Structures are given as structure tokens and as C-alpha cells.
Amino acid sequence: MWKPDRNAKIPIYRQIVEHLERRIAFGELPPGSQLPSERRMAEQLDINRSTVIQAYEELRASGLLESTVGRGTSVSRTKWGLTPSQTPNWHHYTEGGAFLPNLPLMRRIREVTRQDDQLIDLASGELSDDLFPNRLIQDLLKEQPFEEHLGYELPQGHAGLRGTLSLFLERQHGIRTTGSSILVTSGSQQSLYLITQCLLSPGDAVAIEDPSYSYSLPMFQSAGLRICRLPVHKDGIEPGDIIQLYREHRIRMIFLNPNYQNPTGSVLSMAKRKRLLEIAAEYRIPVVEDDPFSLTTMQPEPPQPLKSLDQDGIVMYIGSLSKIAASGLRIGWLVAPQSVVARLADARQQMDFGLSIVSEWLAERLMSSERFDDHIMNLQLSLQLKRDQMAESLHKHLPGEVLFDLPQGGLNLWCKINHKINDSRLLEDGIRSGVVFVPGSVYGSEEGYIRLSYARPLLKEIDPGIMALAQALRMQNAR
């Protein structure tokens, strides 16, 4: 985002004037475009409000901006003699279309973390920079000459990467598959998007866990799906609930995160896994298994994914590098019956023509490197340290006020607050105290829960982060 240069000789208000003049002249802010209020613009640029007022005044004087009481400041429609009807009504276009915007609480969290890098981030599900395999990736880029074909990739993705993935899936997760049943995607988000867009139709009912990460995705609503809830207990969902949902709503697909569920951290028990697969087979309902966290385990004998028990092609399995290596590589995978993979690959061609060969090549090198196992082991140790620190700080600063089960993998603590809170007010109080986290309602949960992630903060930031949370809760109580 553009910011004025404080060391320049040109006064700051003048820099703003010139910046806006350029953007208006380039058509980036067409006639009628709404500008931020003076207060908001001042916040964004981190300057005095009076400076913005001065800049806006000058632009109004030159006829480029106009302000109306109640409607704020916008780019003049009369610039260069244009009549109001001479540019497209962009507002009308951007408000249409099939895509719902992101949830307000999520937008707010993203906005503040982007603007203020002093905030301690217990909201993001992303790993901290020190957990990424930076050095390994640099070495791979330097050591291995890039000799791939630079043309369009196969619709299912790089053949070598799919081969490496089939070995990886068998070795790490006990999933037996071949490259022809794997679709390389740009991450779990794209895998879910392809499934909801290509295999389901508006009006279809689907079952998702409650609470669940899926509620944070407007994707399900954008696809016009009817959502049915499967309550999550300590050992995961109750498979029998599926029969009930099928009878009442004819659910057409089940979305689950059996290992270290997001946000609760629960693990579906083995008995429930077997029962679930029986029911899914009997009622012929495909299961989508989202499995971002299996390799973030802290257990000596971690649970295998549901997919490893599936011999009949009932489960579509989704994994990615985002939570175990680097989200910025945008590499994920989907394992499904071949006809499904072919259909999704064909549709993906129409959306984006496939993935970047450089990223796929690098992912292949990374996952077949001998050093990748070391990276995973280090990651698991670091996450365990961070989890333990967070639990300790919660016991210290909020004894008895916050309840949680210690998760055995994943990136999150799911906390019940022991007194009444208001989600969005608590978030704002948190921001004022210097910490950000995700209120439980984002995951479809009742109020009174928050998700604290130990992935993103550095180890040393966790204790101050929890202290800031304690302060925010005190502000809530004082209201």
C-alpha cells in the first residue's frame, strides 16, 4: 500500500494530492469512486487528520473530488466534462456475481494484522517464518539446475511430483494410491473449491462438523449448498448422526477433518472411523477428508488418515504443504477415484490452466529430499514447545477462566471462556490490548469460545500475547 515519504522535501499533503491525481488520471479511481473518510485515510497512512483534510480540500478546489453531506468524498463525475452517465457503474458490477465476500470478523482480522505488525498474531493458522524450510529451499534452488519444460503442465499436475506424492502418502499416511488418482492443486482451498463447484449443485445438502473451519469459508454458501451440522465431541463426530441427516435432508457429501480437527483439536476415534465408513458405504455418501495437520502430530503413534482405511473409493482425501512446510508454495493434493480426478482436472483447466511448473518442481525436490524428514521432526518439536508455552501462560494469566483440552497435534488451542463475552467486542478489546485471535462464532460455534493458534507467534511472543488476552478479558468484564 502506498504511504507518503516522510523524508521527502515535498509536504505530505502535497504527496497525497499528487498520488490521488495520478490514480484518478490513470482511471484507477473512475468518476464516482468513493474515497475513505478523512479520519480513516489518516489512520491508513498513519498521519494527522488535518493533513488529509488539507489534501482533500485542494482536490475539491481543483474539481477532482466532491463531498456531499452524508455521502462522504468521491471522485467528481464532472471531471473533463464527463456527464454522470459516461463511465460504467462499477459499484453495480462489483456487488453482483456469485461470490460472497469474506466474513466481516475475518476481514477485520486480516486488515489489522496487515496494518499493524506490532500485534501479536494468535489468529493466523500460518506457521511462523522460522518454521518454514527457508534454508532447504534456498539450497535446492541453488543446487539443482531447473531443466523442466516451461510449457503448460499436464491437467492433473507434474508427473514427477505425483509420483513422489504417492510414495509420500504411503510412507507417511498408509494411503495407497498411484499418480493417476492424484490431482495436484494450489492448496486445500482449491481442492475444496473444485469439489463444491464441480461435484455438487446449488441446493444440495452437505454435512460439516460443528464447529468447523468450513464455517469460515463463504465458499459453501457461494456454491448455494445447504449446510447440515455434525456436532464434534471429544472423540469427534457421532457417525449415527449421519443417518439422521441423510433421512431428513438427503445429504450428498460429508466434510470431515478427522485428525486434530480445526478448531477443536479432537481426533476421531478408531471405532467411529470404522462405523463412519460403513454408514457412508451403506448410504452411498462420499466423504471429503481434509487433512492439513496429520504431520504436525506430537504423538509417538499418530492416527492414520481415514483414507488409509478406505478400499472402495468412498473418501476424497485433501492434503497440502501449507501447514507442514510453506503456505506460499501453494501446493496441495487431492486423492480420489480416477473419474473424479479427471473431471476436476478438466474444470480446473477452465479456471486457471493449472499450476506453475516452478512451484511444482520445487515441491517435488523438497518432498523427495532426504532433509525433508528432518524438517518435519524439527517442526513437530517447535510446535510442541509453543503449545506447551501457550498452555502454561493460560494457566498462569487466566487460571480457571479459560478451559481447554491439550491438543495432540494441529496448530490451535480451542478455549472456552468461563464467563459471558461478546465476540466482536472481545476482538476489538484484544486489538486494543495488542493481540488478535479468532472468535469462535467464525467456526459456527456458539459464543463463549475463542481459537488461539500457536503457529504464527514466535515462542517468546506467546506469553505477552496471553497477557494481552487476559487484559482484553478484563476489559470485557468491566463493561
313-342 residues in contact with its own copies (CB under 8 A) are: 313-315, 326-331, 337-340, 342
| Least CB distance to its own copies at residue 84 (A) | 10
| Least CB distance to its own copies at residue 314 (A) | 6
Q: Looking only at residues 98 through 127 of this chain, which bind its own copies when binding is defined by CB under 8 A?
A: 98-99, 101-102, 114, 126-127
Interface pick for its own copies out of 310, 364, 429, 461 (rule CB under 8 A): 310
Specify the stretch interacting with its own copies by CB under 8 A; choose among 42-50, 144-152, 389-397, 444-452.
144-152
| Least CB distance to its own copies at residue 129 (A) | 6
d(CA 108, CA 257): 26
Q: Note whether 26 binds its own copies by CB under 8 A.
A: yes
User: Which residues, 6 or more positions from 452, have their beta carbon under 8 angstroms from its beta carbon?
Assistant: 122, 390, 412, 413, 415, 437, 466, 469
| Least CB distance to its own copies at residue 371 (A) | 16
| Least CB distance to its own copies at residue 405 (A) | 28
Amino acid symbol at 258: P
Helix (H, G, I), strand (E, B) or coil at 416: strand
Tell me the backbone φ, ψ of residue 463, rounded to 5 degrees. Answer: -65, -50
Interface pick for its own copies out of 22, 274, 396, 474 (rule CB under 8 A): 22
Specify the stretch interacting with its own copies by CB under 8 A; choose among 52-60, 82-90, 243-251, 264-272.
82-90
Q: Note whether 244 binds its own copies by CB under 8 A.
A: no
Interface pick for its own copies out of 184, 206, 207, 217 (rule CB under 8 A): 217
d(CA 81, CA 356): 46
Instruction: Give whichever of 177 and 384 is closer to its own copies, judged by the CB atom.
Output: 177
Interface pick for its own copies out of 108, 176, 249, 416 (rule CB under 8 A): 176
Q: Which cell goes with 413?
A: 488451542
Q: Are 113 and 121 in contact (CB under 8 A)?
A: yes
Q: Which cell goes with 221?
A: 454458501
Q: Which cell goes with 180?
A: 493417476
d(CA 142, CA 26): 40
User: Which residues, 6 or more positions from 148, have their beta carbon under 8 angstroms from its beta carbon?
Assistant: 158, 357, 358, 361
Specify the stretch interacting with its own copies by CB under 8 A; choose among 58-66, 146-154, 259-267, 426-434.
146-154
Q: Note whether 400 binds its own copies by CB under 8 A.
A: no
Q: Looking only at residues 33 through 62 of this chain, which bind its own copies when binding is defined by CB under 8 A?
A: 33
Q: Which cell goes with 256?
A: 470431515
Q: Note whether 285 binds its own copies by CB under 8 A.
A: yes
Tell me the backbone φ, ψ of residue 156, rounded to 5 degrees. Answer: -85, -10
Q: Note whether 222 binds its own copies by CB under 8 A.
A: yes
Instruction: Give whichever of 30 and 448 is closer to its own copies, judged by the CB atom.
Output: 30
Binding-site size, its own copies (CB under 8 A): 109
Tell me the backbone φ, ψ of residue 343, rounded to 5 degrees. Answer: -65, -45
Tell me the backbone φ, ψ of residue 437, rounded to 5 degrees. Answer: -150, 175
Interface pick for its own copies out of 362, 383, 411, 438 (rule CB under 8 A): 362
| Least CB distance to its own copies at residue 26 (A) | 5
Instruction: Please state at what angle helix 371-397 crosses helix 134-143, rounded to 10 degrees.
Output: 160
Q: Looking only at residues 184 through 213 of this chain, which bind its own copies when binding is defined by CB under 8 A?
A: 185-187, 189-190, 193, 197-201
Interface pick for its own copies out of 300, 312, 478, 479 (rule CB under 8 A): 312
Helix (H, G, I), strand (E, B) or coil at 314: coil
Q: Note whether 352 binds its own copies by CB under 8 A.
A: yes
Helix (H, G, I), strand (E, B) or coil at 266: coil
Specify the stretch interacting with its own copies by CB under 8 A; choose among 52-60, 228-236, 352-360, 443-451.
352-360
Q: Note whether 71 binds its own copies by CB under 8 A.
A: no
Q: Which cell goes with 18?
A: 499528487
Interface pick for its own copies out of 137, 324, 411, 415 (rule CB under 8 A): 137
Instruction: Give whichever of 25 and 403 is closer to its own copies, judged by the CB atom.
Output: 25
| Least CB distance to its own copies at residue 14 (A) | 17
Q: Burial of 67 by CB count in 10 Å (0-12 exposed, 13-18 middle, 19+ buried)?
A: middle
d(CA 416, CA 440): 9
Q: Are 347 and 370 in contact (CB under 8 A)?
A: no
Task: Name which of 18, 347, 363, 15 is nearest 168 in CA terms.
Answer: 363
Instruction: Give whichever of 176 and 229 is closer to its own copies, judged by the CB atom.
Output: 176
Specify the stretch interacting with its own copies by CB under 8 A; choose among 308-316, 408-416, 427-435, 440-448.
308-316
